[in-house]
Structure 1
């Protein structure tokens, strides 16, 4: 597996991963309005790294650099369980000496367990129009 910085050649694959993963994961939300182009808007001005196996795009992480905030970490359904998320997270950790933070929906048990296993802890909680969430950090 190799991690590369985003380039346009990966955009269509990342759009698909983002759409499919959100629809299959967020079963408690209304996802019928999600679209392929959401990826473009939701990652605008973020640093994106892409996980690849040969020409196969496995997943991505996007980070809002001013706050070292992980905005998105998604892995293709066919690549779950092989360490893609771990590799992407390690890439983000190694690019800054500031703590990483993220928001994770409190109903997303799989993601909460993943982040906890990687040393993230809940720093606070909040809510918005569609969900309750935890703010997590890898260092307090």
Structure 2
């Protein structure tokens, strides 16, 4: 699987699939939130102005990472539920790390698997905060 993954910049033709990945992944993962409020249009709003890198398997999008470049902030990293735990998230992080001198992100406290994932890839929890979605860790990565 790892060798079949290609990372590329976003293209308009990927948008329908990326919307589906975003909705499916959030619905599957964020059990502590009311997923009935999630919709396909959330993707367009939530990634506006961000650099999006897409993981392709056999030419089809299977995940993405979006970065708010003014702050080198990883806003989203989502993998299609049927492709999770196959190294795609790691590939996306490996791809962006050399492109940014420092990275940061928020990881919701109930999302323990994501927190473990980011920490296993060198991110350090700097602090904990609350927002309208609940408690989160603020993590950073530096080479």
- TM-score range (shorter-chain normalised) is over 0.9
**Map of 1:112 onto structure 2:** 115
Instruction: Quote the offset at 1:139 in angstroms.
Output: 3.0
**Map of 2:100 onto structure 1:** 96
Which of residues 61, 75, 81 is equivalent to 2:79? Answer: 75
Distance 2:113 2:45 in 1: 25
Distance 1:90 1:69 in 2: 15
Q: TM-score, normalised by structure 2?
A: 0.94
**Map of 2:42 onto structure 1:** 38
CA contact (8 A) 1:68 1:100 kept: yes
Corresponding pairs, count = 139
Distance 1:94 1:8 in 2: 25
Structure 2 unaligned blocks of 5 or more: none
Bigger fraction of residues in helix: 2
**Map of 1:139 onto structure 2:** 142
Moved over 3 A (4+): none
Q: TM-score, normalised by structure 1?
A: 0.96
**Map of 2:91 onto structure 1:** 87
RMSD over equivalenced CA pairs, Å: 1.1
3-state secondary structure, aligned to 2:75: strand
1:21-50 superposed Cα distances (whole Å, 9 cap, x missing partner): 001100011111110010000000000000
**Map of 2:11 onto structure 1:** 7
Which of residues 125, 128, 131 is equivalent to 1:128? Answer: 131
Distance 2:122 2:40 in 1: 32
Bigger fraction of residues in strand: 2
